[in-house]
């Protein structure tokens, strides 16, 4: 757990150190997720980079002939440093970049609780965590509707085991505030 705190601190200090005045990204952006309830706050750091903090819910369902069936809704926290790499190309082609509309690469840190807020599916571990890198695609419409898809490799661990896997996220939301 101390390692995750240290990584958060390093990521934050690095992000503040590279801040510039001319930005293609939004200074501040607050988005509400629709599919799984949650909120994302994205802070512009440099010309094409942001830091995004997300608090959301995750869903799991297990059906097994060996154990009882169950479902659960769990709290998830995520932190990302996003570098949008195609803003210039989008602008050259006359496309929008408002609302941080673009493609990005990002290191990611995520943590999920092991006890369900709603449902009967509780894991033995109190938490699950992951660290990795994702490729993301984010599109924000003129009226604020936002679509985001991201995937990439990750290292996942809990109190008892660790393994490699895939980060995968599909989000649909509404930008309620941007600057």
Band (pLDDT 50/70/90 cuts) for residue 23 is: confident
Would you say 128 and 145 are in contact if contact means Cβ atoms under 8 Å apart?
Answer: no
Q: Is the whole model's pTM more than 0.85, yes or no?
A: no
What pLDDT is attached to residue 120?
Answer: 87
Band (pLDDT 50/70/90 cuts) for residue 4 is: low
* Domains of the chain by residue range: 2-178
Band (pLDDT 50/70/90 cuts) for residue 64 is: confident
- What are the backbone dihedrals phi and psi of residue 11, each rounded to the nearest 5 degrees, phi first? -60, -40
User: Tell me: domain 2-178, CATH 2.40.160, correct?
Assistant: yes
Band (pLDDT 50/70/90 cuts) for residue 141 is: very high
pLDDT tens digits along 150-164:
999 999 999 999 999
Tell me which of 53 and 9 has the higher pLDDT: 53
Tell me which of 59 and 99 has the higher pLDDT: 99
């Amino acid at each position: 757990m101390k390692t995750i705190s240290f990584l958060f601190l390093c990521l934050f200090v690095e992000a503040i150190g590279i801040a510039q005045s001319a930005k293609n990204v939004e200074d501040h952006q607050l988005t509400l997720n629709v599919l799984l309830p949650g909120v994302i706050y994205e802070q512009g750091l440099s010309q094409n980079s942001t830091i995004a903090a997300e608090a959301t819910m995750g869903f799991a369902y297990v059906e097994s002939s060996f154990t009882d069936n169950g479902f659960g809704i769990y709290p998830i926290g995520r932190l990302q440093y996003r570098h949008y790499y195609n803003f210039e190309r989008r602008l050259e082609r006359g496309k929008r970049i408002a609302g941080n509309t673009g493609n990005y690469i990002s290191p990611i840190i995520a943590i999920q609780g092991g006890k369900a807020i709603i449902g009967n599916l509780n894991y033995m571990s109190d938490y699950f965590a992951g660290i990795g890198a994702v490729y993301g695609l984010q599109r924000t419409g003129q009226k604020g509707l936002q679509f985001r898809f991201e995937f990439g490799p990750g290292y996942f661990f809990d109190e008892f085991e660790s393994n490699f896997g895939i980060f995968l996220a599909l989000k649909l939301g509404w930008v309620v505030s941007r600057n």
